[in-house]
Structure 1
Amino acid sequence: MKNHIIFFSGGMSSFTVAHLVKIKYPNDNILLYFTDTLWEDSDLYRFIYEASDKLKLPMLYHSVGLTPIQLMAKERFLYNSRVGNCSKKLKMEPAAKFLKKGIKPLIEIKYNYEFLKTDISPLEEEFAADTILYFGIGWDEMHREDAIKKNWAPFDVQMPLIDEVINNEDVLNLYGIRKPRLYDMGFAHNNCKGRCVKAGQGHYKNLLLKDEKTFQEVKEQEIVLSEYIRYTKQPQIKSGKCKDYLFKDVYNYLSTGIKSFKIEKILESVDYLSSSRRLFGNDSKGNPINKPYSYIKGMTLNLLEKQPIQCDMWDIGGCGCFVDYENTLND
């Protein structure tokens, strides 16, 4: 009996893959595998649990217990459209550690495991030889195929949608499942509630138009993270000679949304800081710490909101999960 593990992102394509695998291998083990960033849209969770119920397939839920913004604060680095470790550290690494080494992350939920035919354990002998990994990559993303297969060697990695062009909505209709709401809102994927830090100007303009409340939240988080990172660039802070007096306030705000006096002052001063940006003095090279950090290349969300007509609506961007990942678990 083979094990078939579907990387189940909460997107329509991964659902279609699960449907195809179930039809082709009805007597084998099939597992939906979801790694959570804890930053997803509430409707994504509705979708993955309903999918598990309607497909009658077990689902394994894993999370390291951190959101992308919490991770950014810990690393003192603002992920952006050029570089982002959130998918790597919150999705790829925990998945690889579990599948290759049997190491479980902080949070694990087993759902509908009564549909599992036999136990699946990464520590069993010949586990990789008996297990096929599936990704919802279509023909329009064929450029990701080689990197994903390389990352997940020695597993057999398959991407059925590269060869089979199927309408995902037709498959959902077979099971009577409503597609995730982010697709109806015009987003290209169902990741991170439409606030993917690797997205582009057009993506965030769409978020501003379709979900202004979430846009305002992520805009303020970007401001706070940007100013916090600039603060930590001071030589005394960076070297550890001076205590970091902002981290506790920043981390609590990013975790709970509660704004301390320090956070309120940062947000109130954003326009002043944007023009002068000399609040935190000079860095170790004597240069003013005056660079604003942003998710979008060359534009903060604060600026995008004020000048939306000047943004590039074709700059969509997005997270290339499971591609930009240096595999260090084969040793």
Structure 2
Amino acid sequence: MQNHIIFFSGGKSSFSAADYVKTNFPEDNILLYFTDTLWEDEDLYRFIYEASDKLELPMLIHSRGITPPQLMVQQRFMANNRVGTCSKELKMKVSAQYLKKGIVPEVEKWHNRHYLKSEDFISEATLYFGIGFEEMHREGPIKANWQPFKVVMPLIDNIIDNDAALKKYGIRQPRMYDMQFSHNNCKGRCVKAGQGHFKNLLMKDEKTFMELMEQEIVISEYIRYCKQPAIKEGKLPDRMYDDVWEFVSTGKKSDKIKHILDNTSYLKSKLRLLGENAKGEPIKKPFTFMKTLSLEELEKKPVQCDIWDIGGCGCFVEYETKE
């Protein structure tokens, strides 16, 4: 009996990969493995639990117990479409440390564990990713990062219809696809996305867009605040951390947070007073998820953007596991 671990993202392609393994290796030990950012769309959880039930496969859920915005506050660094620290820390590192070193993260949950055929599901396991031919650039890096595990990507090697796989089990696709998103990650808030993606979020879920826009503003101001020499050197205490942490955790806006949001334009004009970049040069613009445009600017000029700039997480490509 062989071990098979499907990296189960909550997307249609990873479901198809799970169906492929279930169909071809029905007598083997199969596990659905989901690393949770705690920032997902509510319907993603409906989908993964329903999938586990109908596939009759066990699902292991791991999490660091923090969201991407909380991680950004902790690191004093804004993840963006050039550097995806959130996917690296909350997904790649969590899974690599567990499968390679046996390190269990802060949060562990099981669903349908009784379907496990052996408690040793890691030894000599084959890992499966729902990567299709349109993402073949991810194949090489993923396989390299996961050595010595064998890595298989069924959607590259076989002709598989995602919608047919869902229909086979009578499972409704995640609602993010109904909203024309290209993936089901982070409720449309993936910071590695582009202008077209965020424009779609603005049109389909304005409430979530506006919440994300405020988080971008507050985290940016917090990072610049922390770059003041006296704060960096510990000569003055960080008097913003608690307010910012509470805001990204609960949405509660203290007087300090309200001041930041009410005076964004004023603060932008004073950027030269609030920190320097890595080269020691004055910071002339806020930190943003996208390189060329903040969400605030996109919201004000939603039509003037590159609708083909979609972007996406691309997990397990950038992470080096040699530690």
TM-score (norm 1): 0.94
Offset at 1:276?
A: 4.0
Distance between the aligned counterparts of 2:236 and 2:223, measured in 1? 15
Q: Does 1:179 align with 2:179?
A: no
Tell me the C-alpha RMSD between the 2 structures: 1.5
Query: Any conservation in 2 of the 1:15–1:51 contact (CA below 8 Å)?
Result: yes
Query: Any conservation in 2 of the 1:273–1:279 contact (CA below 8 Å)?
Result: no
Distance between the aligned counterparts of 2:277 and 2:41, measured in 1? 38
Query: Any conservation in 2 of the 1:235–1:284 contact (CA below 8 Å)?
Result: no
Alignment of 1:171-320 (within 5 A): 171-278=165-272, 280=274, 287-320=281-314
Which residue of the other structure, out of 138, 141, 144, is the alignment partner of 1:144? 138
Offset at 1:294?
A: 0.6
Which residue of the other structure, out of 150, 153, 159, is the alignment partner of 1:156? 150
Query: Helix, strand or coil for the counterpart of 2:105?
Result: coil
Q: 1:179/1:284 Cα in 2 relative to 1: closer, same or farther (>3 Å)?
A: closer
Offset at 1:278?
A: 4.4
Query: Any conservation in 2 of the 1:6–1:32 contact (CA below 8 Å)?
Result: yes
Query: Any conservation in 1 of the 2:36–2:91 contact (CA below 8 Å)?
Result: yes
Q: 1:276/1:132 Cα in 2 relative to 1: closer, same or farther (>3 Å)?
A: same
Distance between the aligned counterparts of 1:297 and 1:147, measured in 2? 24
Q: Does 1:37 align with 2:37?
A: yes
TM-score (norm 2): 0.97
Distance between the aligned counterparts of 1:55 and 1:291, measured in 2? 49
Q: Deviations over 1:263-288 (max 9, x none)?
A: 00000001222344345367798754
Distance between the aligned counterparts of 1:6 and 1:290, measured in 2? 44
Distance between the aligned counterparts of 1:64 and 1:281, measured in 2? 30
Amino acid at match of 1:111: H
Moved over 6 A (4+): 281-286
Partner of 1:2: 2
Partner of 1:48: 48
Offset at 1:227?
A: 0.6
Structure 2 residues not aligned, in runs of 5+: none
Q: Deviations over 1:116-143 (max 9, x none)?
A: 1111254xxxx2xx21000001111111
Taking only the aligned residue pairs, the percentage that are identical comes to: 63
Query: Helix, strand or coil for the counterpart of 1:296?
Result: coil
Distance between the aligned counterparts of 1:281 and 1:296, measured in 2? 20
Query: Any conservation in 2 of the 1:135–1:158 contact (CA below 8 Å)?
Result: yes
Query: Helix, strand or coil for the counterpart of 1:198?
Result: coil
Partner of 2:25: 25
Partner of 2:125: 131
Distance between the aligned counterparts of 2:279 and 2:171, measured in 1? 57
Distance between the aligned counterparts of 2:170 and 2:204, measured in 1? 26
Count of residue pairs brought into register by the alignment: 323
Amino acid at match of 1:188: S
